[in-house]
Amino acid sequence: MIVAEQKPVAEILRMIEGYRKILVVGCGTCVTVCMAGGEKEAGILASLIRMAWAREGRLGPLIDVSETTVERQCEWEFLQEISEKVAASDAVLSMGCGAGVQAMARMFEGKVILPALNTKFIGMPERQGLWTELCAGCGDCVLDRTGGICPIARCSKSLLNGPCGGSQNGKCEVSKDIDCAWQLIFDRMKSLGRLEALGAMLPPKDWSKNRDGGPRKVVREDMLL
Amino acid sequence: MPKIVAFACEHSAYEAATAALERKTGTAVSGENPRFPIVEVEILKVPCTGRVEVIDILKALEGGAGIVVLLGCFEEACHYLTGNVRAKKRVGYVRRIIQDIGLEENRVQFFSLAPDMDARFSGIIEELSKQVVNMGPGPVTRIRDQTTKEQAQAAQAR
Ligand code: SF4
Ligand code: SF4
């Protein structure tokens, strides 16, 4: 899932300065799970904005802050459902990830769409209230060779050929709070009885599948209409 | 009139509130506040303070409360094990985010009570009444009062 967190309220308030009718749009998928931009969070943000504006004496008949949530902001079908509400607003605060914000900006031409979240990474909930990064979307997955532990996302230096000299007692030299990904990889490969696989000579990783060549696309010919 | 909204756990604080009312030591559940007649108190019975969401607290502030207080059980005494711990954390969170919009953190508070602590209940309400008088009404009431005043002035001018 995509993990995000809300921008500081002060930054959001600066962004919406000058607009009178704000629609806060939550997203019911990834950012609901990471408690950054779901229905609850959209309600909370809209309420905070209303109170912030009330303090400044800005609430009145022509001023309005409301909220709504769609199943997924990154799909046209779901965005269609809120067309009327978007049309009635001066600016939309999207609580989706960067994909959601951009999908809205494309769908609602001529409408100001603003991001209320900072999109952080692809990851998972580790436990209640804690999410960790697991994948950097490199486009050429190596997990088969690393015991299912990603060296790109989880090694602070994205090393591909084993730990750096700073790895100590299983911890990364960047911080004692970070497990050394290569220690994890070594331990897991050992427990799988696959240690010798780590000794294999490999060609350089194909980074052309990452950022090289501009924005990436995935095409499924059999699905195209 | 400044207003306190209290979410009271039915297993502890609400019983204390009821006892306080019966013994006339403090605030009436109905909204009268005999010790502090200039402050309105609304007591909302909840099955557990853990059921009170962030948005419920914000809506109470938006609805005109000057102070929102969650009154729950003592730690280890929650009927649902950790509802009160969650509630405390949520209160801490709301105190942080309302400061982001320039509100005083003490507009949202948490206290622990046992069912027989009617005197403590009255004491808390009395203390909060003083605080809310000092802080003034909540942000939304302020603007509403102002708008009403302006509308009245405009009407008079006509
Ligand atoms: S916009 Fe799409 S990818 Fe982004 S959080 Fe919502 S469902 Fe997930
Ligand atoms: S190797 Fe690449 S695709 Fe695989 S988990 Fe790591 S970043 Fe993601």
**Is residue A212 assigned to a domain?**
no
- CA–centroid distance, B130 to ligand 2, in Å, is 58
Residue from A98, A116, A46, A90 nearest B62 by CA? A46
Q: Looking at the structure, give the CATH architecture of the domain made up of residues B3-157.
A: 3-Layer(aba) Sandwich (3.40)
CA angle, B76 then B82 then B84, to 5°? 85
Q: Is A54 on the interface with B (CB under 8 A)?
A: yes
CB B84 within 8 A of CB B92: no
And the tokens for B90? 């949520």
pLDDT in tens, B73-132: 999 889 999 999 999 999 999 999 999 999 999 999 999 999 999 999 999 999 999 999
pLDDT in tens, B42-83: 999 999 999 999 999 999 999 999 999 999 999 988 999 999
And the tokens for A46? 């809209």
CA angle, A35 then A81 then A70, to 5°? 5
Determine the atom of ligand 1 nearest the C-alpha atom of A72. Answer: 7
Helix (H) or strand (E) run with residue A104 in it: helix A98-107
**Is residue A211 assigned to a domain?**
no
**Rounded Cα–Cα distance for residues A185 and B103 (Å):** 48
**Is residue A174 assigned to a domain?**
yes
- Partners of residue B5 on adjacent β-strands: B42, B68
Among the partner residues B54, B139, B146, nearest to A51 by beta-carbon distance:
B139
| Pair A105, A30 in one domain | yes
Determine the atom of ligand 2 nearest the C-alpha atom of A146. Answer: 1
Per-residue confidence (pLDDT) for residue B138, from 0 to 100: 76
**Is residue A8 assigned to a domain?**
yes
Domain range for residue A92? 2-121
Domain ranges within chain B, ordered by starting residue:
3-157
Written as tens digits, the pLDDT of chain A (225 aa) is 999 999 999 999 999 999 999 999 999 999 999 999 999 999 999 999 999 998 888 877 778 999 999 999 999 999 999 999 999 999 999 999 999 999 999 999 999 999 999 999 999 999 999 999 999 999 999 999 999 999 999 999 999 999 999 999 999 999 999 999 999 999 999 999 999 999 999 889 988 888 777 888 888 888 888
| Pair A19, A58 in one domain | yes
* Ligand 1 pocket member A6 (CB < 6 A): no
**Rounded Cα–Cα distance for residues A139 and A117 (Å):** 25
| Pair A97, A163 in one domain | no
pTM of the predicted protein model: 0.88
| Pair A193, A107 in one domain | no
**Rounded Cα–Cα distance for residues A45 and A65 (Å):** 10
**Is residue A208 assigned to a domain?**
no
**Is residue A69 assigned to a domain?**
yes
**Is residue A214 assigned to a domain?**
no
Per-residue confidence (pLDDT) for residue A125, from 0 to 100: 93
